[in-house]
A and B are shown apart, each in its own frame.
Chain A
Amino acid sequence: MITSAIFGIENNGLLAITALLTGVALVGLALWIAKLISPSSFNPQKGEAYECGIPTRGESMSQFKVGYYLFAILFLMFDVETVFLFPWAVRMRELGVNGLLSIAVFFGILVLGLVYAWRKGALEWK
């Protein structure tokens, strides 16, 4: 009733590569067509940063607010958690009580991490 494997191709890696190349082809083809039919003229003023056409003051590729970095670190912690939770989620029923207990300990440590970050004020946007 439920059948899989489009065209009988069992190799999913091949299909993934096909999709990837399709993405590349979409961008490449559209850019190529655009290059063919769109006008192009050179003008030094045109190449300047957007807004007013005035050269940007200072360097744009510079330091930025540390708050973003803090959230990235927090994300890393929780993302690793989700990676570890996925295999357990699949085998949850088979692993039974043992699995539940061990994941509860793991879960508890991560919640503690969140509580710590919260109490430290890492979740405030300053």
Chain B
Amino acid sequence: MQDLSFITEWIDSSLRALMPGWLTVTVECLLIGVGLLLVYALLALFYIYYERKVCAAFQCRLGPNRVGPWGLLQSFADMFKMLIKEIIHLNHIDRFLFALAPYLVIIASMLAFAVLPWGNGIQIINFNIGIFFLIAVSSIGVLGILLAGWSSNNKYTLIGSLRSGAQMVSYELSIGLSVITMVCLAGTMSVEGIVAEQQDLWFIFKGHIPAIIAFVIYMIAGTAETNRGPFDLPEAESELTAGYHTEYSGMHFGFFYLAEYLNLFIVSGVAALLFFGGWMPLHIPGWEAFNYIMDYIPSVVWFVGKAIVLSFIIIWFKWTFPRLRIDQLLALEWKYLLPINLVNLVLMVLIIVFNWHF
């Protein structure tokens, strides 16, 4: 595995030669911020394009193909259009909360984004309780959505945000429990540690049956967490126009749009981290030559590639299944996923205690 930290170390040492220590740290924090901002925006734009192309393929269409080669610049054009649209000032809203909601949604996804293991040596926030921190910050997003729906003072948005809140809060349990299942196997909560534990074999192979069950549950709950696919009833356009962001216009709406696609990336990135080794290349014990070749693919490519492949599954859900009703949605979580998850946790504990994992 190439260690990419030589880049940051080189920047660090050359900056330290130029300026005092505190200024170096400030400049480095600025660099991290700019980097995060760029990657965040570019990934969101890529995901909008990706989703539209995949959707078009499922529906036997071509998808965006006019702006730029293969329509690659379409989402840039869309974002620019959103920037030049008027932000309408409404006269019946709670102004402060209305303005605060997009901040909360974006901050939640940005913090979760910074925890992800981007590559060998480029992990930004590296708490020893990393995965717990990730769950904690991603639940701030629910607050943003609830505030958006409430402060808009519109019945559609209120119903949309309440549905969304009930849904995200319920499915967070499933996410938390499948994360606990994998933390049991890893024996650590730090993102770096979880990746390092998977050096010989990814967790989905190491933990076999319980890991696979946890993965399936995680993917279902992750789809619901991002308000997508068959679980998109918070923004069921046929009954609620657009759900919690009905009253938002222009770039204000754009933030919810960006955060939705980024959450898709974060959910699949966490799935890649917990089950498919984060940035760790595919290693098979005993196959030395194979492992050696796999190490030559850069770790960033591994991580982003895994996340993109996993988000293909989530997009696939969306264009395959019809939308659920709210009672079906809550019954699926509380009567099926939660009990299965609890049993699965016990199963995982048994497998670790009797050392049946690989």
**Do the two shown chains form a genuine complex with each other?**
yes
Measuring CB to CB, which residues of chain A are less than 8 angstroms from any residue of chain B?
1-9, 12, 14-16, 18-27, 30-31, 33-35, 37-42, 44, 46-51, 56, 60-61, 64-65, 67-68, 71-72, 74-75, 78-79, 82, 85-86, 89-90, 92-93, 100, 107, 111, 114, 118, 123-125
The smallest C-beta distance from B253 to any residue of chain A, in angstroms, reads: 11
A125 x B123 contact (CB < 8 A):
no
Bound CA span A38–B253, Å:
14
A74 x B334 contact (CB < 8 A):
yes
Residue among B111, B155, B156, B338 making CB contact with A114, cutoff 8 Å: B338
Which residues of A have CB within 8 Å of B92? Answer: 47-49, 56
Which residues of A have CB within 8 Å of B226? Answer: none
Taking CB as reference atom, which chain A residue is nearest B29?
A18
B327 at the interface (CB under 8 A from A): yes
Binding-face segment, B82-90, B203-211, B300-308: B82-90
Which residues of A have CB within 8 Å of B89? Answer: 40, 42, 46-47
Which residues of A have CB within 8 Å of B156? Answer: 50-51
Taking CB as reference atom, which chain A residue is nearest B121?
A3
Bound CA span A24–B255, Å:
11
Which residues of B have CB within 8 Å of A111? Answer: 342
Write out, one digit per residue, whether chain B residues 85-123 have a CB within 8 A of any chain A CB (1) or not (0). Answer: 111111110000000001100110111011000001111
Chain A interface secondary structure, helix, strand, loop or mixed?
Answer: helix
Taking CB as reference atom, which chain B residue is nearest A67?
B166
B172 x A86 contact (CB < 8 A):
no
Binding-face segment, B47-55, B56-64, B189-197: B189-197
B84 x A92 contact (CB < 8 A):
no
Number of interface residues of B (CB under 8 A): 95
Which residues of B have CB within 8 Å of A16? Answer: 111, 114, 125, 127, 133
Bound CA span A59–B171, Å:
30
7 nearest interchain CB pairs? A125-B327, A23-B110, A47-B91, A23-B107, A19-B114, A34-B251, A82-B176
Bound CA span A64–B127, Å:
39
B125 x A82 contact (CB < 8 A):
no
B126 x A4 contact (CB < 8 A):
yes
Residue among B32, B41, B123, B165 making CB contact with A18, cutoff 8 Å: B32
25 pairs across A/B with beta carbons < 8 Å?
A1-B1, A2-B120, A2-B192, A3-B3, A6-B122, A6-B126, A7-B8, A15-B126, A23-B106, A26-B41, A31-B251, A40-B86, A40-B87, A41-B86, A44-B91, A47-B88, A49-B247, A50-B156, A61-B153, A68-B165, A79-B173, A82-B180, A86-B180, A114-B338, A123-B335
Bound CA span A124–B335, Å:
10
Bound CA span A5–B84, Å:
40
B241 x A51 contact (CB < 8 A):
yes
A125 x B40 contact (CB < 8 A):
no
A38 x B342 contact (CB < 8 A):
no
Asked, given contacts A24-B103, A27-B103, A31-B252, whether A15 binds B195 with beta carbons under 8 Å apart, the answer is no
The smallest C-beta distance from B142 to any residue of chain A, in angstroms, reads: 10
Residue among B5, B84, B158, B327 making CB contact with A60, cutoff 8 Å: B158
Which residues of B have CB within 8 Å of A74? Answer: 334
Which residues of A have CB within 8 Å of B86? Answer: 38-41
Which of A9, A50, A86, A123 lies at the interface centre, i.e. has the most chain B CB atoms within 10 A of its CB? A50
B352 at the interface (CB under 8 A from A): yes
Bound CA span A23–B110, Å:
6
Asked, given contacts A34-B83, A60-B154, A61-B153, whether A19 binds B172 with beta carbons under 8 Å apart, the answer is no
A1 x B189 contact (CB < 8 A):
no
Taking CB as reference atom, which chain A residue is nearest B188?
A90
B 151-172 contacts with A by CB, 8 A: 153-156, 158-159, 162-163, 165-166, 169-170, 172
Extra A-B contacts (15), CB below 8 Å, given A38-B86, A64-B159: A1-B1, A3-B3, A19-B111, A21-B33, A22-B37, A26-B110, A49-B154, A56-B92, A56-B154, A65-B162, A72-B165, A92-B187, A93-B187, A107-B342, A123-B331
B36 at the interface (CB under 8 A from A): yes
